[in-house]
């Protein structure tokens, strides 16, 4: 009779443990997040994918799918991050058009700590939009006993900088007299990957002011200089140089005879 009672108590204790484990698996929470960032169109860049575990979350394996625009990003590949490699985990990925499915796993029960579990490397198309969305879907995680852990995927926006976008136009001096010149500088949003001819879209309100229609920014540079010359005007007037790009500032030159 005593033996039966002890067996019953042990059975209830085992059931209680499994119930607690199942509840912890349900309550446990893991978040996978793509870090926001910026990249230059036509260049190569990377973003980290990080893991954060909430109370009760102790994943030993994680799976997710990274979705992206294959018209904006090409040649995407992932490599294991320090949070994964520090625990002896490996990264395996299966790419497809516009997405790549990955899993962090290992032949051990080491818990994956918070931090960067992977780095996504990619090339940005020269024709990419001003911003591109990256999303994490199909996320799963497992504990050391094989229980499922709830995972939330968090996406991000990649801001894409087009190097030939003019962000500033400045001329000095601002006031000129007949026969003098002004030194002007056009500045790009980012360093040009190759020698880039930038259409300035400049126009003067007088034929007595010479303004170039374009200027070439050397490879690796962010700006280029040009000059504006004032000829002999019939009377005092002003010349306004306007850049067609909406990001640009205006440079105004005033000259007197």
Q: Which of 140, 161, 182 is the last residue of a domain?
A: 161
Going from the C-alpha of 59 to that of each of 21, 112, 138, the distances in angstroms are: 14, 6, 16
Is residue 156 in a domain?
yes
What tokens appear for 12 in the block?
Answer: 């209830």
**With a threshold of 0.75, does the pTM exceed it?**
no
Do 88 and 117 fall into the same domain? yes
Please give the residue range of the domain that contains residue 246. Answer: 166-250
Instruction: Give the residue from 127, 161, 195 where a domain finishes.
Output: 161
Residues 74 and 40 reside in one and the same domain: yes
Is residue 7 domain-resident?
Answer: no
62 and 132 both lie in a single domain: yes
Do 182 and 197 share a domain, yes or no?
A: yes
pLDDT in tens, 207-219: 667 777 778 888 7
Do 40 and 156 share a structural domain?
A: yes
Backbone φ and ψ for 41, nearest 5 degrees, come out as -60, 130
71 & 127 share domain: yes
The verdict on 64 and 181 lying in the same domain is: no
The answer to whether residues 72 and 148 belong to one domain is: yes
Within a domain: 123? yes
| pLDDT for position 32 | 96
Residue 235 banded pLDDT, cuts 50, 70, 90: low
Give every CB contact of residue 12 below 8 A, 6+ residues apart in sequence: none
| 70 and 154 inside one domain | yes
- Inter-residue contact 252 to 240 (CB < 8 Å): yes
Rounded distance, CA 160 to CA 163, Å?
A: 9
Top mean pLDDT of 123-127, 162-166, 205-209 is at 123-127
Tell me, yes or no, whether 198 lies in a domain.
yes
* Count of structural domains within the chain: 2
32 in a structural domain: yes
- The confidence band for 194, taking pLDDT boundaries of 50, 70 and 90, is low
Q: Where residue 92 sits, what CATH number does that domain have?
A: 2.60.40.680
107 and 157 within one domain: yes
Look at residues 110, 142, 161 and tell me which one is the last residue of a structural domain.
Answer: 161
**Are residues 100 and 189 located together in one domain of the fold?**
no
pLDDT in tens, 7-54: 443 433 333 333 333 444 444 589 999 998 888 788 888 999 999 997
| Pair (236, 131) in one structural domain | no
Classified as helix, coil or strand, 18 is: helix
């Amino acid at each position: 009779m005593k033996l039966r009672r002890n067996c019953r108590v042990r059975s209830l204790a085992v059931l209680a443990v499994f119930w607690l484990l199942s509840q912890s698996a349900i309550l446990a929470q893991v978040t996978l997040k793509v870090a926001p960032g910026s990249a230059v169109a036509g260049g190569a860049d990377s973003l980290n994918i990080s893991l954060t575990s909430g109370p009760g979350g102790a994943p030993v394996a994680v799976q997710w799918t990274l979705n992206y625009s294959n018209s904006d990003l090409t040649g995407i590949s992932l490599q294991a991050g320090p949070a994964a490699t520090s625990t002896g985990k490996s990264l395996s990925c299966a790419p497809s058009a516009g997405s790549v499915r990955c899993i962090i796993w290992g032949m051990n029960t080491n818990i994956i700590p918070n931090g960067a579990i992977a780095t996504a490397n990619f090339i940005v198309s020269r024709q990419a939009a001003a911003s591109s969305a990256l999303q994490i879907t199909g996320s799963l995680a497992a504990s050391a006993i094989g229980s499922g852990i709830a995972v939330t995927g968090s996406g991000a926006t990649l801001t894409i900088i087009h190097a030939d976008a003019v962000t500033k136009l400045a001329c000095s001096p601002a006031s000129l007299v007949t026969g003098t010149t002004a030194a002007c500088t056009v500045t790009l949003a980012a360093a040009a990957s190759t020698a880039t001819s930038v259409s300035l879209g400049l126009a003067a309100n007088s034929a007595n002011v010479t303004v170039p229609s374009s200027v070439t920014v050397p490879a690796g540079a962010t700006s280029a200089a040009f000059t504006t010359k004032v000829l002999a005007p019939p009377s005092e007037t002003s010349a306004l140089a306007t850049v067609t790009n909406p990001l640009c500032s205006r440079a105004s030159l005033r000259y007197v005879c």
